[in-house]
């Protein structure tokens, strides 16, 4: 579900920021009986600040940071509301569930030392991580009714109607599957040309294209015998596209010259343009409708929580 973002610090983004979030800790919002502090907001903002500082500067950086502050403060407020709702409903996060999730996280590390070093690098303590896991469990349980309602509201008719109304989303362009040999330009370009010409001659005399690609090709798919898999127009260099889509199945191209070197292409299969059949995309459509329906229910539920709550925010700066 959107807006329940609790494991941001586990996504692998380094939490390092040089921008001046150094004000003395203070209350920046009240949500019924709970408070939100500046340090809580800073914790969510650190990876965002680091990312933005590497991409923007000046006024644009300040504007993006202001939007990030607003967004993450709203997330913290909504999380407080959901946790309060969980408390009212008597929802708990049993210790064994917390331990199970913690074990799954630690299992991704090669050793306990590596895990501890990771926590240290993120400025976290084990107890903070456990608390976040506990809150995440409570929020998932408190919002389960939204997922359930969304599922109940989806019917087979809805799925089929979506398919018929969005056929362009399921249209596939013509595709081909081809294999490729690249001989990059060496110090002496004529040597590269001689090599590709000898490979071309060997193929025309019955040589195995895949074996020759493995032996000679400088392309990234040499180990796979030069197999490029299926691709549509525009996914490769114009010279490759033009040659590949003009060939028949089993036909070998003439030698192609590009900025990288000399190429040979052989087409293995062709797929005509088509609209994917309903059965092939049904699950994907159901997931799309479910997400859309859940978002509407979520937004309505959050609004109802806010309307019956005491929420006040203070100036951040």
- The whole-number pLDDT of residue 120 equals 84
Q: pLDDT tens, 258-280?
A: 999 999 999 999 999 999 999 99
Q: Which helix (H) or strand (E) holds 146?
A: helix 144-152
Burial (CB count within 10 angstroms: exposed 0-12, middle 13-18, buried 19+), residue 49: buried
CA distances 243 to 189, 285, 311, Å, are 22, 36, 64
List, for residues 217-253, the tens digit of each pLDDT value.
999 999 999 999 999 998 999 999 999 999 999 999 9
For residue 8, the tally of other CB atoms under 10 A from its CB is 16
**Topology of the domain covering 8-155+287-313:** Triger factor/SurA peptide-binding fold (1.10.4030)
Mean predicted confidence (pLDDT) in 162-170: 94
**Confidence (pTM):** 0.63
Segment (H or E) for 179: strand 175-184
Domains of the chain, residue spans:
8-155+287-313, 172-272
Average pLDDT of span 52-58: 90
CATH number assigned to the domain with residue range 172-272, chosen from the 4 options 3.10.50.40, 3.90.1580.10, 3.30.499.10, 3.40.980.10: 3.10.50.40
Whether 7 shows a pLDDT value over 70: the answer reads: no
21 pLDDT band (50/70/90 cuts)?
A: very low
Strand partners, 313: 29
């Amino acid at each position: 579900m959107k807006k329940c973002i609790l494991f941001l610090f586990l996504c692998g983004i380094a939490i390092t920021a040089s921008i001046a979030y150094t004000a003395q800790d203070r209350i920046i919002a009240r949500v019924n009986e709970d408070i939100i502090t500046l340090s809580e907001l800073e914790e969510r903002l650190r990876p965002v600040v680091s990312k933005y500082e590497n991409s923007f500067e000046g006024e644009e950086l300040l504007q993006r940071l202001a939007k990030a502050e607003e967004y993450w403060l709203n997330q913290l407020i909504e999380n407080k509301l959901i946790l309060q709702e969980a408390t009212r409903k008597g929802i708990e996060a049993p210790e064994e569930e917390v331990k199970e999730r913690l074990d799954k996280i630690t299992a991704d590390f090669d050793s306990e030392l590596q895990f501890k070093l990771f926590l240290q690098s993120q400025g976290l303590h084990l107890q903070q991580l456990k608390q976040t896991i506990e809150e995440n469990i409570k929020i998932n349980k408190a919002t389960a009714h939204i997922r359930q309602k969304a599922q109940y509201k989806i019917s087979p008719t809805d799925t089929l109607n979506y398919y018929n109304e969005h056929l362009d989303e399921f249209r596939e362009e013509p595709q081909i599957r081809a294999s490729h040999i690249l001989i990059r330009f060496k110090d002496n370009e004529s040597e590269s040309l001689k090599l590709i010409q000898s490979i071309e001659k060997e193929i025309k005399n019955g040589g195995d294209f895949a074996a020759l690609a493995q032996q000679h090709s400088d392309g990234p798919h040499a180990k796979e015998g030069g197999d490029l898999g299926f691709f549509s127009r525009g996914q490769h260099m114009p010279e490759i596209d033009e040659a590949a889509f003009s060939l028949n199945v089993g036909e070998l191209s003439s030698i192609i010259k590009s900025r990288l070197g000399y190429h040979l292409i052989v087409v293995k299969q062709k797929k005509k343009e088509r609209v994917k059949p309903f059965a092939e995309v049904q699950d994907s459509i159901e997931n799309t409708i479910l997400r859309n329906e859940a978002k509407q229910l979520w937004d309505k539920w959050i609004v109802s929580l806010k309307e019956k709550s005491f929420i006040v925010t203070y100036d951040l700066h």
